[in-house]
Amino acid sequence: MQQSTYEKGLQRLKEVDDIAGEKVIASLADISPDLGRYVIEFGFGEIYSRPGLTLQQRELATVAALTAMGTAQPQLKVHLAAALNVGLSRLEITETIMQMALYAGFPAALNGMFAAKEVFAEHDRLAQQETSQY
């Protein structure tokens, strides 16, 4: 049986964002469930599921684009966490943000770097919690 675009999108969303992506979709349920469905079906079921780029390459491109926009801090933070989740190093992420200083300006790169600092700190905090539980 072939997966629906929605099912394929949910699976890819879980691979990329783990529970953070599910939280974003859940936060739309009471105001615009259709927008959440579009994110899953189009964003993850169609675009993120295409061949040609790895999940790491897709996340680097997304981090670069959101950093360059300079106006999408919440989305940038979700994708910074996703970048870590799919195996990108902090160096790869920070170098991508630094590259945006050249093309999007220092304010955008600074905002992106401060977002990365927050996401990295949260990632460390969660990792510390996990290890202290064992």
Q: Where are the domains of the chain?
A: 1-51, 53-134
What pLDDT sits at residue 97? Answer: 98
pLDDT in tens, 14-62: 999 888 788 888 999 999 999 999 999 999 999 999 999 999 999 999 9
Q: Give the mean model confidence (pLDDT) for residues 65-85.
A: 96
CA 2 to chain centre: 27
Cβ atoms < 10 Å from Cβ of 60: 21
Tell me the C-alpha distance between 42 and 20, whole Å.
Answer: 18
- What CATH architecture applies to the domain 53-134? Up-down Bundle (1.20)
Q: Give the mean model confidence (pLDDT) for residues 102-109.
A: 98
> Which residue carries 């739309």 as its tokens?
28
Tell me the C-alpha distance between 9 and 16, whole Å.
Answer: 10
